[in-house]
Amino acid sequence: MALIPFDDRDGVIWWDGKCVPWRDAKLHVLTHGLHYASAVFEGERAYDGHIFKLRAHTDRLIRSGKILGFDIPWTAEQIDDACKQVLIANNLTDAYVRPIAWRGTEQLAVSAQQTKIHLAIATWPWPNLFGADRMAGVRLGHATWRRPHPQTAPTASKAAGLYMIGTLSKHDAEAQGFNDALMLSWDGRVTEATGANIFFAFDGKLHTPVPDCFLDGITRRTVMALARARQIEVVERVIMPEELAAADEVFLAGTAAEVTPVRAIGEQVYAPGQMTATLLGDYEALVRMSPEEVARRAA
């Protein structure tokens, strides 16, 4: 499939309060966010015209900025409205939504206290991250890079800089013929894939690693609630790589990945089973419910 570069598309992008033509949404090269990764972003999905768990994403965006030491100069209500506005302005109902906040050009040095904080929101059609046949699943390689200790990097933030490790790991995995990489923590525990959380079925229970050095994803929390609604026991615990061979099922969960079965981790092969199929179906149904219904079920 031919790639269409992201600056060669049409539509509008919300930028600091107004919608600008897509092709005009350009930055100066001496932007702090580019040089020092002082940027935080979100990845959201709209289904049937509604952005799933929009406020949770907006809250995380604001929190991510605070962790990086800046306040986004818009309220959560204004950011929610802007996300909805950009979706409508681009005439999309089923799409990916990407807000990003970054430090501007006023200073270009490690210290950047005087930089202005900017916010842009783009949206584009993006079917499932791993292709249309969801049950076909993905194969994960073992990442050589590890998730850093939470005192080494702001791991609770969806900070642009942290994706350096993800891109390196994903490129390594792809070079070896895998779809994505399973990342370990700095001290060797199982953590997540490069852009999604991971779940395992062990003896009829749903297990997932404790998110102490990676994102406690919105999809992760949604899947845990869906499992509990099905009376499936959810176990958050330390999971070591030696245990992977004993897992009955494995799947990924993330906004872009949605619920995606894992067919292999390195040499170890898995067959997606009933628990994965059930939670995948429940997630697909939930994302298409009205925001009021989603909120009601979460209560």
The number of helices, as runs of H, and strands, as runs of E, in the chain is 7, 16
3-class DSSP state for residue 172? helix
Please, what is the minimum distance in Å from the beta carbon of residue 17 to ligand PMP?
Answer: 25
Task: Select from 219, 226, 227, 247 the one that contacts ligand PMP (CB under 6 A).
Answer: 219
Which residues are CB-contacts of 279 (< 8 A; sequence separation ≥ 6)? 206, 223, 226, 227, 230, 251, 259
- Distance between CA 259 and CA 277 in Å, rounded? 9
- Restricted to residues 113-142, the positions that interact with ligand PMP (CB under 6 A) are none
Task: Select from 220, 249, 251, 276 the one that contacts ligand PMP (CB under 6 A).
Answer: 220
> Looking at 93-101, 122-130, 188-196, 271-279, which segment touches ligand PMP (CB under 6 A)?
188-196
> Could you confirm whether 53 is annotated as catalytic?
no
Residue 202's DSSP bridge partners are: 205
Residue type, 44: E
Binding string, residues 73-112; x marks residues near ligand PMP by CB under 6 A:
----------------------------------------
* Token duo for residue 187: 């001290």
Which residues are CB-contacts of 137 (< 8 A; sequence separation ≥ 6)? 130, 251, 260, 261, 262, 263, 272
Instruction: Confirm or reject binding of residue 191 to ligand PMP (CB under 6 A).
Output: no
Helix residue ranges per DSSP H, 68-206 = 76-89, 163-175
> Looking at 27-35, 119-127, 149-157, 212-220, which segment touches ligand PMP (CB under 6 A)?
212-220
Task: Select from 196, 201, 239, 262 the one that contacts ligand PMP (CB under 6 A).
Answer: 196
Which residues are CB-contacts of 259 (< 8 A; sequence separation ≥ 6)? 134, 219, 223, 251, 252, 253, 276, 279, 280, 283, 284
> Looking at 80-88, 109-117, 195-203, 271-279, which segment touches ligand PMP (CB under 6 A)?
195-203
Question: CB nearest ligand PMP: which residue?
Answer: 217
Binding string, residues 254-293; x marks residues near ligand PMP by CB under 6 A:
xx--------------------------------------
Task: Select from 137, 209, 217, 261 the one that contacts ligand PMP (CB under 6 A).
Answer: 217
Closer residue to ligand PMP, CB minimum distance, 158 or 189: 158
If we measure between CA atoms, which residue out of 114, 92, 82, 115 comes closest to residue 15?
Answer: 82
Catalytic residues, which ones? 158
Q: Which residues contribute to the site for ligand PMP (CB under 6 A)?
A: 43, 158, 166, 192, 195-197, 214-215, 217-220, 254-255
